[in-house]
Amino acid sequence: MDRTTSASMEMRSEGLGTTPSEHPAFAGRIELPYKLTTGRAASVFLAELASRRIVGSRCPSCARVLVPAQDFCAECGTAAEELVVVASAGSLSGFTETAAGVLGLIRLDGASTDLVHRILDAGLADLQVGQRVAARWAEEAQGSVLDIVGFAADDAPAASEEVRPLSDPSDPVIEQPYRLRLDYQHAYGPYYGRLFDEIATSRRIQGVRCPRCECVLVPPREYCDTCFVRTAEWVDVADTGVIKAFSIIHLEFVGQVREPPYIYAEIVLDGAATRLIHTVGGIEVEEAMERLHPGTAVRAVWKDGEPVGTLEDIVYFEPVFDD
Amino acid sequence: MRDVAIVGTGQTKHARRRTDVSQAGLVREAVDAALEDACLTFADIDSVVVASGPALFGAVNQPEKWLVDALGGHMKPVVRITSGGGTGLAGALAAMNQVSSGFVERVLVVAYDKLSEGALQYQISTLYDPFWGREFAVGIMGFAAAYWRARIDALGHTEEAAALVSVKNHRNAMRNPYAHVKKEVTVEDVLASRPLAWPIKLLDVPPISDGACAVILASEDAVPSITSTPAWIRGMAYYGEADNAANRFMLQSVPLQLAAQRVYKRAGIVNPRRQFDVAELQEPYTNFELSYYEGLGLCRSGEAADLIASGATEMEGDIPCNPSGGCMGANPIGATALIRLAEAALQVTDKAGERQVPGARTALVQAGGGWANLRGVAVVGADRN
Amino acid sequence: MFGRAINRVAVVASAQTKLRDAWSNRQHVDLISEAVVGALKGSGLRIEDVDFVIDCGSDILDGRSISNCGFLGAMGAHHKEESRVEEDGLWGALYGATKIGSGSAEVGLVLAYSKPSESDVSAFYATQCEPFYQRPVGFDHAAACGFQAQSYLASHSLSEEVFADVVAHDWALAAANSAVELETAPTAGDVRASSRVAAPLHELELSRPVDGAVAVVLASKRVAQRVCTDPVWITGIGTAMDQHSFAMRERDSLPACAAAAEAAYRRAGMDGPEGASLAELSASSAATQLMVLEALGLADPGGAARLYSEGSDVALNPSGGSLPADPIMATGLVRLSEAALQLSGRVGHGPEGASSAIVHGAGGVGMQNHCVFTLEV
């Protein structure tokens, strides 16, 4: 994550009518690895693509052949356990073109339902509902629906025997690796904008005071959570405070930014009534277990060089012992 | 307001990883079991409520739209509630309102998570504000450990007391056919187990699980034709608290107390320790159970360590807590709270098998999520209010 | 009166932020608070009177898991009963209505919000598709809209020209609605000239994602009659979901929308939409808007375009509807808010003397899920 700069200093923002480009955003990314379980029907469907066979499932209740194979018949809820092989050619029921290319809805011979897939080697002008198409296979199967590269126009007539029982099934593809990446441009808004601007320009941490309970809220926000009245006044808080609570992290996990062991801490800055989430450093873990307590005083250790305006400008908070 | 009862429950075979079913197949397994328990079919179900953890857990956004086929939900009301770790109970509450208002007669509630699909701690860390603390978050474990450490000083919730919770829940899970962690542990084992977020250690932590639970709710008008042994929901509530509110009290959960107050009032509970025969609590960390004893009024503030040490919350005690083993036996997060509700229903209908508390008629259920700021409570009974 | 609810439930107040392409100088919490404060202002109710909060937002759009958990303070939900319905806000209103209808609460705040400008709307929809068959081939919501449009035109032998007229009609109404930020409305010619993004649909024939938040206050009959001279009563609610696989659904009609409407009318004791003064609709494209009108019974199959060319007895989308302003998770709740404001005569638009309304919300890829409310004053 990185941050450019924020020009959003206004406290009251209604009706400003500004355009997006005037307000830099905080670029956030969530990127996660998965191993997704395909389930019975899909695990066989995906595996059979390597043998260039397209598998459907027959609903025992309504007798429809669902393609690609489904575990359950959506319309009646029945488990569709009988797996069958349908033709790899059929007719085009519909098509569209989006940023992803030309996509088609295809009714394979023997299937009772359409499937969605890519249409190859054709523009919209070349396509007609009802025309014959056939699967084009990837050179090397990966156990993915993209082992069918797509469907292309094909003159072959409909197969005489459209639906066959599935014989000698391959080993199922029981899981698929998956990576989800989501990018964000989080708006700072007037409150976080000013907070991080102040950190970036003067290493000053600011909160807002609630006029009713008189508590100072950091990070600043428009409404006091407890009183639900508008906060009124910007207030400087210190870069010193006390530990409200802490734990010592040994666990390692995907996405972690600090190397264990380290000390997770919730800190109440002097002058504030809310918690700041950070780490405590400058103390060995063994010593921390003995000497740190809720209430232990700490002070921010700022990173050398120009601050950029995030909590990472503080390396950690170090304990301040009386002795 | 119409009374609402649980008329069927079902759970999957929970496991660290289920490779034989997709997320859809997992929920179906629980639903089939619940329908069979209630002797109902999809045709009898008017509405479906799905509850699960954040979409990032399974890489499927609004997963109810995928699961609908497996839930027999075609052309029915289907909606999903996602309210943190306690979402199973939040889902049941939404369903209960659908029934008690007269909107529908029978609702299928299904809650699940298939946690083996992804990288759990980082997924949970995305609860945190991207500007303010996410980079330092350790799921919710760092947070939970930190306030346990604070309660050690303030309330005497020692590591030994928490270890007793682990020992009890692990032992109880041995008798629960749905639990997938079947391992008795000793206090010494717990204390010597590897620190993850000290003072939280490996054996203070539940497993990561794949699992689902389904519960069928019916109106007082529909109950007689379904079962002669309904479990009546005598009260249910789910409260929130602004996480970073000024001077937020962290040693006890205020929303838990608010939920308990509301539900106890409705169910006529004035002495929880005496009036409840059994409790199912969503720990998930051992120290949470200690805190819940106090927040739910099973003992006074600062007495939880004494309560667990006294044996009162053991199977043989006067207020057995988590005869199912709680989260220690299985923890498919989104399903966990609904599992607690289902287990409570089994207890008050004398269907809990080897983990049955003899003669139980009134059960307490607790659920929660977020940063200890989403908390739910329910009372389930063999009798109506 | 819906179902067997003893207590009637009313919409007693509502407010929304302005809907605009991007609120890039404000955070989710800022938009949420503005809507909540706006709804309570002048309602005769204070935040202390609110028994519970139901909120509808999306983790995937917000970039934050159970994002409601972080927004509770801004919602006014601190120490209140709260739940997140991760669906369009109209389902939040359904939850709120059942909670009040059950007698377990008197005043509920229902919230919905989205900031698609911070995120990727196509990813929001694409991640709703199961990951094995549909996602890898590039199928998403835009493709679904394209398939629906093609199928609708073919089934009814219509020309694609009908879509642009629908769009121009709604954008003109939105331009007259101060709640939607819009400088000029495109003409039908402009619509046809916009780029084709999901053939046969042009960019302007798909709904425009906007940022915004909306808050609706629901109350029991007892409270509504105390605080409100003109409560808007919820008379019926229905909802239904279609199957997941888009390719296996009907594409030239929306049977789940028809099922939702039928259930709402039945609960309201109505035979159909006859007598409704206005309809506020949520559609992802001009094509599905026509299909929604048909599913609601406002036109025969294939006949909805004539409501635009020949005129309609029922005022259609007086607010402009979802095509010019689609705040994703908030769209249906904006429709409810708009319809209630129009029925109570508190906004400048909407038909004179309106007494009843049909409100429609939708969710999912290719509008898999539908919810219908009927209202009356």
Residues of chain B contacting C101 with CB distance shorter than 8 Å: 97, 101-103
* Rounded CA separation B253/B368 (Å): 10
Instruction: Report yes or no: A231 and A250 within 8 Å, Cβ to Cβ.
Output: no
Whether B79 sits inside 8 A of C85 (CB atoms) is: yes
In a domain, A34, yes or no: no
First-to-last alpha carbon distance for chain C, in angstroms, is 12
* Rounded CA separation A133/A56 (Å): 18
Instruction: State in words which class domain C143-195+233-376 has.
Output: alpha beta
In a domain, A17, yes or no: yes
**What is the arithmetic mean of pLDDT over A121-141?**
96
Whether B197 sits inside 8 A of A226 (CB atoms) is: no
Domain identity same for A141 and A68: yes
| ipTM higher than the 0.90 cut | yes
Q: Is A320's Cβ below 8 Å from some Cβ in B?
A: no
Q: Is A125's Cβ below 8 Å from some Cβ in B?
A: no
Give the CATH number of the domain where residue A24 resides. 2.40.50.840
Residues of chain B contacting A35 with CB distance shorter than 8 Å: 116-118
Q: Which phi and psi (to 5°) does residue C262 adopt?
A: -60, -40
Residues of chain C contacting A18 with CB distance shorter than 8 Å: 24-25
Closest residue in chain A to residue B57, using alpha carbons only? A34
The domains spanning C9-120+210-227 and C143-195+233-376 adopt the same CATH topology: yes
In a domain, B73, yes or no: yes
Nearest to A242 by CA among A275, A210, A291: A275
Q: Please report which confidence band the pLDDT of residue A159 belongs to, taking 50, 70 and 90 as the band edges.
A: confident
Per-domain residue ranges for chain C? 9-120+210-227, 143-195+233-376
**H/E element, B65:** helix B64-67
Q: Please report which confidence band the pLDDT of residue A42 belongs to, taking 50, 70 and 90 as the band edges.
A: very high
Domain identity same for A213 and A295: yes
Q: Is A40's Cβ below 8 Å from some Cβ in B?
A: yes
Condensed to tens digits (0 to 9), the pLDDT of residues C77-92 reads 999 999 999 999 999 9
- Structural domain boundaries enclosing B86: 4-118+208-225
Whether B25 sits inside 8 A of A265 (CB atoms) is: no
Condensed to tens digits (0 to 9), the pLDDT of residues C240-281 reads 999 999 999 999 999 999 999 999 999 999 999 999 999 999
- Number of neighbours of residue A179 by Cβ within 10 angstroms: 9
Domain identity same for A169 and A95: yes
Condensed to tens digits (0 to 9), the pLDDT of residues A176-193 reads 999 999 999 999 999 999
CA distance to partner chain A, nearest, from residue B261 (Å): 20
In a domain, B65, yes or no: yes
CA distance to partner chain A, nearest, from residue B380 (Å): 31
Site from A176, A249, A315 to mutate, B interface, most B CB atoms within 10 angstroms: A249
* Rounded CA separation B151/A244 (Å): 11
Q: Which residue among C74, C147, C154 sits closest to A105, beta carbon to beta carbon?
A: C147
| Contacting subunits of B (3+ beta carbon pairs below 8 A) | A, C
Instruction: Report yes or no: C9 and C102 within 8 Å, Cβ to Cβ.
Output: no
Whether C63 sits inside 8 A of A182 (CB atoms) is: yes
Condensed to tens digits (0 to 9), the pLDDT of residues B21-44 reads 999 999 999 999 999 999 999 999
pLDDT score, position C5: 53
**What is the arithmetic mean of pLDDT over A116-132?**
96
Whether A100 sits inside 8 A of C140 (CB atoms) is: yes
Last residue of a domain, one of A146, A173, A200: A173
Q: Is A97's Cβ below 8 Å from some Cβ in C?
A: yes
Site from C18, C24, C153, C178 to mutate, A interface, most A CB atoms within 10 angstroms: C24
pLDDT score, position A1: 33
3-state secondary structure C320-332: CCCCCCECHHHHH
Q: Is A174's Cβ below 8 Å from some Cβ in B?
A: yes
CA distance to partner chain A, nearest, from residue C5 (Å): 30
Nearest to B132 by CA among C64, A3, A314, A276: A276
From the number of C-beta atoms within 10 Å of its C-beta (0-12, 13-18, 19+), residue A100 rates as middle
pLDDT score, position A157: 81
In a domain, B100, yes or no: yes
DSSP B206: P
pLDDT score, position A133: 97
Domain identity same for A69 and A21: no
Closest residue in chain B to residue C122, using alpha carbons only? B61
In chain A, which among 61-80 make CB contacts under 8 A with chain C? 66, 68, 70, 74-75
Number of separate domains in chain A: 2
Whether B61 sits inside 8 A of C72 (CB atoms) is: no
In a domain, A183, yes or no: no
In a domain, B10, yes or no: yes
In a domain, A182, yes or no: no
Closest residue in chain A to residue B130, using alpha carbons only? A28
pLDDT score, position A15: 32
Q: Which phi and psi (to 5°) does residue B111 adopt?
A: -130, 145
* Rounded CA separation B130/C119 (Å): 14
Give the CATH number of the domain where residue B76 resides. 3.40.47.10
In chain A, which among 224-263 make CB contacts under 8 A with chain B? 224-226, 244-251, 253-258
Residue ranges in chain B modelled with pLDDT below 50: none
Query: Is the pLDDT assigned to residue A18 strictly greater than 60?
Result: no
Cis peptide upstream of residue A177 (ω within 30 degrees of 0) = no
Please give chain C's pLDDT, 377 residues, in tens. Answer: 455 554 689 999 999 999 999 999 999 999 999 999 999 998 999 999 999 999 999 999 999 999 999 999 999 999 999 999 999 999 999 999 999 999 999 999 999 999 999 999 999 999 999 999 999 999 999 999 999 999 999 999 999 999 999 999 999 999 999 999 998 899 999 999 999 999 999 999 999 999 999 999 999 999 999 999 889 999 999 999 999 999 999 999 999 999 999 999 999 999 999 999 999 999 999 999 999 999 999 999 999 999 999 999 999 999 999 999 999 999 999 999 999 999 998 888 889 999 999 999 999 999 999 999 999 99
CA distance to partner chain C, nearest, from residue A283 (Å): 31
Q: Please report which confidence band the pLDDT of residue A257 belongs to, taking 50, 70 and 90 as the band edges.
A: confident
Residues of chain C contacting B100 with CB distance shorter than 8 Å: 98, 102-104
Tell me the pairing of strands A132-137 and A89-98: antiparallel
Whether C131 sits inside 8 A of A66 (CB atoms) is: no
Kindly compute the dihedral angle of the four CA atoms of residues A105, A110, A112, A113, in this order, to the nearest 10 degrees: -20
- Structural domain boundaries enclosing A117: 39-173
In chain C, which among 84-123 make CB contacts under 8 A with chain A? 115, 117-120, 122-123
CA distance to partner chain B, nearest, from residue C48 (Å): 14
Superfamily of domain C9-120+210-227: Thiolase/Chalcone synthase (3.40.47.10)
In a domain, A181, yes or no: no
Q: Is C124's Cβ below 8 Å from some Cβ in A?
A: no
Whether A72 sits inside 8 A of B28 (CB atoms) is: yes
Q: Is B22's Cβ below 8 Å from some Cβ in A?
A: yes
In chain B, which among 193-212 make CB contacts under 8 A with chain C? none
In a domain, A118, yes or no: yes
Q: Is B373's Cβ below 8 Å from some Cβ in C?
A: yes
Number of separate domains in chain B: 1
